[in-house]
Amino acid sequence: MRTGDQVVQDLPWRWNVQGKIFIIGGLGYMFDAWDVALNGFLTPLLGTEFGLSTGQRGLVATANLIGMAVGAIAFGTIADRMGRKKAFSVTLLIFALFSVLGALSPNWEIFLVLRFLAGVGLGGCIPVDYAIVSEFSPRRQRGRVLSAMDGWWPVGTTLAGLSATLLVPVDGNWRWMLVLMVLPAVLLFWIRRGVPESPLYLARTGRETEARQVIDDMVRRTGATPEPYAISAAAPEPTTSRRRGLAALVEQLRMVWAFSPRITGVAWALFVTVMVVYYAALSWMPSILRAQGMGEVAAFGSTTVMNGVGILGVITSVLLVERLGRKWVIGVAAPAAALSLIVFSLVMGSSTAAIVMIAVFGFFALVVIPVMYAYVSELYPTELRASGFGWASSSSRAVTGFVPLIFGSLLWPVLGLPLTFTLMGLLVVAAVVFMAVGAPETRGRELDRITGTEQRVDTTSDAPVVEKA
């Protein structure tokens, strides 16, 4: 007899069932992209209004990204302890509240605090969204579905670029940029209340009756043939359920590394190196182009081109992820994205060539990031999926949070752009090599059976337990 999670992962894809969750989860991801991209446009505008130095301007993005690092850890743990659905809604509510307050900031210092708090809410979106979408997706389409999730990223960054470019002539433009982003986020918070809890999560936490209700409803709505199934035994009660605050977060981190130090190391290495390159470009590209003599509108517009071309990158990732596998796509696209930035730094004297290379970077970056997110979310078992992804995401947010500050005050002024981007590219290549030898391919595998055995984490002891599938 098959298990309930196997039934869910073999259901046919229906847009009114799994597709609805994909769209609702993806829209949350879109706001994450919108907010992160907005840092690059806010940095020069706030610098002008408040008379900030280059280092102080870097703090605009740093505060937001560090907040996202905290949010990714906190809400990844909350999602694994209290459920995906609760975390799914709360993250956007926190983001919307503090973004509105940020638009009303009377000075730069208060703005930084509020941007940090908004980042806490938004940072929780990605690990929670990817956990719930992956757990509802059929395994044969899961790679394409999770890669397609990143299609919302260039939509969000492009909307950020368009709104910023259009609002440049408006008084108080940076305040209106924040307000415009928040309005649809509040609507999405209300819509998210109707999303069901993940049946895989319900089964793993011993809530069999609720799990069967969700599974039976999905079988009925997708038109699949009903069949008897068993519910997998609940995972041992996690020690984090008896701990609070920082102790719970530390314990969850211990379990993530105890599950597999090699896989967690690969996940963190990929996230940190790829996202450092991407956020450095996203946060500073408008300023780099303005330093080359472009006007504000032209610089913002060129950055918007980078984000818009990313849509083609996501489409490419969706087409390739199930054909070539996750590791091949990441292994080729990640170094290509880094190389395009190096070439960009060498041809900046020609505005046409520079814009072309910006577009090339936007394409390859949005090929690798969707597949990387899908890959890492598949590597962990259900009881650690959100927190495993959350800690990997947080590691990149923590490092990239300081990149805007270090990039603007040390790397760019001292080393110059060609050498800075070369160093970043070498780190990306090292991470890709580590992935090639240190982590398995996940294409076509059932969740929790990625390595050929069902890896179940014993959350009451220090060592992971592996059960034969």
Beta pairing partners, 454? 467
Question: From CA 148, how far away is CA 136, in angstroms rounded?
Answer: 14
* Domains, in order of start, for the chain: 4-467 (1.20.1250.20)
Phi and psi at 465, nearest 5°, equal -105, 135
User: Residue 322 and residue 444: Cα distance in Å, rounded?
Assistant: 8
The 3-class secondary structure across 335-385, one letter per residue, is HHHHHHHHHHHHCCCCHHHHHHHHHHHHHHHHHHHHHHHHHHHHHCCHHHH
Neighbour-count burial of 138, counting CB atoms closer than 10 A to its CB (0-12 exposed, 13-18 middle, 19+ buried): middle
Please calculate the CA angle 439-252-82 and round it to the nearest 5 degrees. 115
- What region does 170 belong to: left with phi over 0, alpha with psi -120 to 50, or beta? beta
Q: Which segment of 74-88, 164-178, 233-247 scores lowest on mean pLDDT?
A: 233-247
How high is the pLDDT of residue 462? 41
- Condensed to tens digits (0 to 9), the pLDDT of residues 417-459 reads 888 889 889 999 999 999 999 888 887 776 666 544 344 444 4
Residue with tokens 């990817």: 130
Q: Taking the model in full, what pTM does it have? A: 0.65
* Of the candidates 29, 77, 22, the residue with the CA atom closest to the CA atom of residue 388: 77
* Pair 64, 33: CB distance under 8 Å: no
Look at the alpha carbons of 38, 41, 46, 51 in this order and tell me if their dihedral is positive or negative: positive
d(CA 131, CA 329): 21
Q: 444: exposed, middle or buried (C-beta count within 10 Å: 0-12, 13-18, 19+)?
A: exposed
Q: Are 114 and 102 in contact (CB under 8 A)?
A: yes
Percentage of the chain modeled with pLDDT above 70: 82
In three-state form (DSSP H/G/I as H, E/B as E, the rest C), the secondary structure along 186-255 is HHHHHHHCCCCCCHHHHHHCCCHHHHHHHHHHHHHHHCCCCCCCECCCCCCCCHHHHCCHHHHHHHHHHH
pLDDT in tens, 31-89: 777 887 787 778 788 888 888 877 777 777 778 878 887 887 777 677 767 667 777 67
Q: What is the pLDDT of residue 408?
A: 59
Is residue 100 over pLDDT 80? yes
Contact 400, 65 (CB under 8 A): yes
Helix (H, G, I), strand (E, B) or coil at 138: coil
**% of the chain exceeding 90 in pLDDT:** 15
Extended strands (E) in 39-96: none
Could you tell me the two tokens for 113?
A: 């605090």
pLDDT category of residue 153 using cuts at 50, 70 and 90: confident
Which pLDDT belongs to residue 448? Answer: 61
For the CA atoms of 37, 41, 47, 48, the dihedral, rounded to the nearest 10 degrees, stands at -170
Q: What pLDDT digit, counting tens, does each position of 262-308 carry?
A: 999 999 999 999 988 887 777 667 767 777 666 666 666 666 777 77
Q: Residue 199 has what pLDDT?
A: 85
SS3 445: coil
3-class secondary-structure state, position 107: coil
Half-sphere exposure of 373 (CA within 13 A, CB side): 33
